[in-house]
Amino acid sequence: MLEKIMSPEPNFLPFYPVVIVGGGQAGLSLSHYLTSLTVGHIVIEKHTLTHTWRTQRWDAFSLVTPNWQCALPGHPYAGEDPHGFMTRPQIIEYLDDFIGKVDAPALEGVTVLHVKQGDDGIYDVHTSAGDFRAGQVVVASGGYTVPIIPRSAERLPASIAQLHSNQYRNPGQLPPGGVLVVGSGQSGAQIAEDLHLAGRQVYLATGDAPRCARFYRGRDVVDWLADMNYYEMSVDQHPLREGVRDNTNHYVTGREGGRDIDLRRFALEGMQLYGQLTDVTGTTVSFAPNLAEHLDSADRTFNGINAAIDKHIAAQGIEAPPATIYEPVWTPSAERTSLDLAAAGIGSILWCIGFQPDFAWVDAPVFNGRGQPVHRRGVTNQKGLYFLGLPWLHTWGSGRFSGIARDAEHLASAIAEQAEAGLGTAALAA
């Protein structure tokens, strides 16, 4: 519902009861619920709706969560492979169908440059397409906005091609020679595998990302964790509390039906593993001597998750294949702390060390010392300002297809309640 009210101000700026900034799955999910509650709103998207899934994923990308967890509001997975993993083209098709169902009132190709609440309680929204006013504003632009590349990368010679993970598409895109992949989270581990399977010589600078099994004791680990109510656990119930929002995602893959990612096995097959990258000097990169620590820590998490599943199986008296414990198939003989890229014939570096959010355009006193919004399930202390789609906004699934519906429905109810109380529109009528 594109409900626009002309503001009784000299400039006659367009007014919307709710402005949603961001047209990904979060913003569209909220639009779905606001429409059902007949709350007027507009979705403002910098690029095109759900553009990151179309423009920032590599060719062989697939979901790491099973298809049955794709549960956008009014749009559950309806295919023939609920325990499979959608590929990039299938994800785009799924999202296209969702966009059509929601039919959100959207402005695409419009950048929101500044948002601030005025003294009258109404929000001033300055965009590349002009200025608007809004009774309430929802920031649904996501937590993965600005690619992280260390400043030390500036010291690399121009002869070394550099890409961030969001720019990588396939091995053929890179110049000849070896490839240094920096970061072993979900993207780094999967891209390293993609290059490895293509026969490229891969050098992987690891991080402290954990890993988990794809399948264990006859089922997908996600299925077991769902039965154990892990995905129902809120951030307030998690042992780490808000600290869980800083956790790196476990590396695993849904590629070709799904499998574990075992960096030790990659090493047996010729991939060169290093600890965390610490510095760059010319063509020489330096690493911390913590490869063994990273591998051991990832394996502890792997075995720990499996052990929790073992306890669940025993407590419920479930018949399942016998328990197993992962034993390392390879261990580093020594910690290598430097690598000469030129001597190794490395022609490119892929930075897979994540993203950071960009909330500089949100002019409101709702951020902590690290620039993260302070909220309770997306609701901030400033009336009429909300966040949606962030990792662990409420549960593990908050930033994913599996949990965004619940968060969006909760926020829609809060927004509708405030709208009924006259938030924003009361000032217009005064």
In which band, very low, low, confident or very high, does the pLDDT at 164 lie, cut at 50, 70 and 90?
A: very high
376 phi-psi bin (left φ>0, alpha ψ -120 to 50, beta other): beta
Distant-in-sequence, close-in-space partners of 129: CB < 8 Å, separation ≥ 6: 107, 110
> Where does CATH 3.50.50.60 sit in the chain?
5-145+357-429, 150-351
Q: Residue range 183-188: average pLDDT?
A: 96
- Residues in Cβ contact with 417 at an 8 Å cutoff, skipping those fewer than 6 apart: none
Give the pair of three-digit tokens for residue 190: 């999967």
87-94 CB contacts, 8 Å cutoff, 24+ apart: 87/60, 87/61, 87/62, 88/53, 88/57, 88/58, 88/59, 88/60, 88/61, 88/62, 91/53, 91/57, 91/61, 91/63, 92/50, 92/53, 92/54, 94/70
CATH entry, 5-145+357-429, from 3.40.50.2300, 3.30.70.2860, 3.20.20.70, 3.50.50.60: 3.50.50.60
* Residue whose C-alpha is closest to residue 264's, from 325, 332, 184, 208: 332
State the pLDDT at residue 10: 42
pLDDT at position 424 over 80: no
Cα–Cα dist 54/41, whole Å: 25
Q: What's the number of CA atoms in the CB half-sphere (13 Å) around residue 420?
A: 9
pLDDT at 395: 84
Read off the amino acid at residue 245. Answer: R
C-alpha 406: how far from chain center: 17
360: amino acid identity, one letter: A
Of the chain, the end-to-end C-alpha distance in Å amounts to: 25
- Please say whether the beta carbons of 378 and 388 come within 8 A: yes
% of the chain with per-residue pLDDT over 70: 94
Return the pLDDT at 5.
41
Return the closest-CA partner of residue 178 out of 341, 316, 311, 321: 341
**CB atoms closer than 10 angstroms to residue 347:** 18
Tens digit of pLDDT for each residue in 377-402?
999 999 999 999 998 787 877 888 88
> What is the DSSP pairing of strand 178-182 with strand 202-205?
parallel
8-state DSSP, 168: -
pLDDT higher than 80, residue 246: no
* 175 phi/psi in degrees, rounded to 5: -65, 165
The residues that bridge with 62 in the sheet, in sequence order, are 87
Tokens 């296209």 -> residue:
96
How do residues 91-108 score in pLDDT, each as one tens digit? 999 999 999 999 999 999
Q: Is residue 245 within 8 Å of residue 144, measured between CB atoms?
A: no
Tokens encoding 9: 């101000």
pLDDT single digits (tens) 397-420: 788 888 999 999 999 999 999 999
> What does the pLDDT look like over 315-340, one tens digit per residue?
999 999 999 999 999 999 989 999 99
Q: Which long-range contacts (CB under 8 A, 24 or more apart) does 414-419 make?
A: 414/379, 414/386, 415/18, 415/34, 415/39, 415/136, 415/138, 415/386, 416/34, 416/37, 416/39, 418/135, 418/136, 418/383, 418/384, 419/17, 419/18, 419/39, 419/135, 419/136
Write down the pLDDT at residue 239: 76
Strands 14-21, 130-139: pairing is: parallel
Asked whether 144 and 354 are in contact (CB, 8 A), the reply is yes
Contact 420, 17 (CB under 8 A): no
pLDDT-derived band of residue 258, with 50, 70 and 90 as boundaries?
Answer: very high
CB atoms within 10 A of CB 194: 22
**Tokens 């009774």 appear where?**
135
Residue 272, pLDDT above cutoff 80: yes
Residue 143 banded pLDDT, cuts 50, 70, 90: confident
Q: Would you state the pLDDT for residue 428?
A: 52
- How far from chain centre, in Å, is Cα 58? 15
Would you say 68 and 402 are in contact if contact means Cβ atoms under 8 Å apart? no
**pLDDT-based confidence at residue 234 (cuts at 50, 70, 90):** confident
Burial (CB count within 10 angstroms: exposed 0-12, middle 13-18, buried 19+), residue 315: exposed
Q: Per the CATH hierarchy, to which homologous superfamily does domain 150-351 belong?
A: FAD/NAD(P)-binding domain (3.50.50.60)
3-state secondary structure of 320: coil
Burial per residue of 322-332, b for 16 or more beta-carbon CB atoms within 10 angstroms, e otherwise:
eeeebeeeeee
**CA gap 234, 378 in Å, rounded:** 13
pLDDT digits (tens, 9 = 90+) for 4-15: 444 444 457 899
